[in-house]
């Protein structure tokens, strides 16, 4: 088994997820599947430890980490967690800003989501900012693939270079959650980073693509334009419409068949 990567993920997506049902094999890895199609075993998170509880006769610690989008439940076990992690959590007085890596597990009758801490350190706001940006970029990447998955065939996406594994998770999420809530997710990110809601004019986007894909001065190939536009979240039919309109308005011309050039 490859070592599980540590997903940088916000609490609001982490908590909007389901446990992947187990198949009954021994030593099976715990996974959750988020609404945006991330299949996760290990996470890297950052935020403020708001409170902690030492329970079970000083053998178990639980805590709450707030990342400004929601909260994570974390835990450490005196007998199973690394000594360093245990003694750190034992000694701190919340609130403390931390960066931590851990594995997901479920606990209790109600199958609550919990992160068993593997390594943890106090961090400054710079590290937290870095983490927030990485988490946001990763999430937007996932949303991008999810948008594509809603309109294109899987084979097409494989050809575009997305991995089989990530696509399987994305399609599983679409099937399980039905409503993908893409717009709500995007809005959350935009608000988080103070990005204005103003949409870019779609014609400008395509025009810019045609210009930037014109590598040799002879024009941009139709397939390249479509390929890149799909990645920007356009649908194929919409791209055709826009190209027609740009041609009509004389902003681009077609020097040869299926080659477009900006005027």
Check residue 123 for interaction with another protein (CB under 8 A).
Answer: yes
DSSP-derived pairing of the beta strands 96-107 and 220-221: unpaired
Check residue 27 for interaction with another protein (CB under 8 A).
Answer: no
Reference 112, options 145, 64, 157; nearest CA is 64
Q: Which is nearer to another protein, 53 or 163 (CB)?
A: 163
Q: How far apart are CA 167 and CA 189, in angstroms?
A: 22
The DSSP bridge partners found for residue 72 are 65
Q: Which is nearer to another protein, 112 or 121 (CB)?
A: 121
Q: How far apart are CA 195 and CA 61, in angstroms?
A: 38
Q: Which is nearer to another protein, 135 or 149 (CB)?
A: 135
Query: ∠ at Cα 19 (16, 21), nearest 5°?
Result: 150
Check residue 163 for interaction with another protein (CB under 8 A).
Answer: yes
Min separation Cβ 68 and another protein, Å: 16
Q: Which is nearer to another protein, 129 or 244 (CB)?
A: 129
Let me know: does 120 contact 88? Beta carbons within 8 Å: yes
Reference 246, options 210, 218, 198; nearest CA is 210
Question: Binding string to another protein for residues 78 to 117, with x set by CB under 8 A, is what?
Answer: ---------------------xxx----------------
Give the up-direction half-sphere exposure of residue 82: CA atoms within 13 A in the CB hemisphere. Answer: 10
Q: How far apart are CA 67 and CA 10, in angstroms?
A: 7
Check residue 57 for interaction with another protein (CB under 8 A).
Answer: no
How many residues touch another protein (CB under 8 A)? 35
Please, which of residues 232-261 interact with another protein by CB under 8 A?
none
Residues contacting residue 35 through CB under 8 Å, at least 6 positions apart = 13, 16, 17, 173, 177, 180, 181, 185
Stretch that binds another protein, among 61-69, 124-132, 172-180, 244-252 (CB under 8 A): 124-132
Check residue 119 for interaction with another protein (CB under 8 A).
Answer: yes
Task: Centre a 10 Å sphere on the Cβ of residue 194 and count the other Cβ atoms it contains.
Answer: 6
Using CB under 8 A, pick the residue from 157, 170, 173, 189 that binds another protein.
189
Min separation Cβ 244 and another protein, Å: 27
Check residue 193 for interaction with another protein (CB under 8 A).
Answer: yes
Check residue 181 for interaction with another protein (CB under 8 A).
Answer: no
Under the rule (CB under 8 A), what is the footprint of another protein? 1-3, 5-8, 44, 99-101, 118-121, 123, 126-127, 129-130, 133-134, 136-138, 140-141, 144, 163, 186, 189-190, 193, 195, 216
């Amino acid at each position: 088994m490859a070592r599980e990567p540590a997903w940088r993920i916000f609490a609001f997506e982490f908590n909007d997820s389901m446990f992947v049902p187990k198949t009954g094999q021994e030593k099976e890895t715990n996974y959750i599947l988020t609404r945006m199609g991330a299949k996760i075993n290990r996470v890297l998170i950052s935020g403020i430890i708001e409170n902690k509880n030492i329970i079970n006769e000083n053998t178990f610690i639980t805590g709450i980490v707030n990342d400004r989008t929601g909260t994570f439940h974390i835990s450490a076990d005196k007998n199973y967690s690394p000594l360093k992690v245990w003694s750190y959590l034992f000694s701190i007085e919340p609130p403390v800003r931390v960066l931590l890596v851990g594995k997901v597990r479920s606990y209790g009758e109600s199958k609550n989501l919990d992160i068993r801490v593997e390594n943890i350190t106090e961090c400054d706001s710079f590290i937290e900012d870095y983490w927030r940006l990485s988490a946001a970029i990763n999430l937007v990447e996932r949303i991008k693939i999810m948008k594509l998955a809603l309109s294109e065939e899987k084979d097409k996406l494989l050809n575009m270079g997305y991995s089989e594994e990530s696509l399987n998770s994305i399609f599983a999420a679409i099937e399980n959650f039905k409503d993908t809530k893409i717009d709500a997710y995007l809005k959350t990110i935009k608000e988080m980073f103070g990005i204005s809601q103003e949409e870019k004019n779609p014609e400008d986007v395509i025009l810019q693509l045609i210009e930037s894909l014109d590598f040799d001065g002879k024009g941009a190939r139709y397939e390249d334009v479509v390929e890149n536009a799909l990645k920007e979240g356009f649908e194929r039919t919409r791209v055709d419409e826009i190209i027609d309109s740009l041609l009509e308005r004389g902003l681009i011309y077609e020097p040869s068949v299926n080659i477009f050039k900006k005027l």
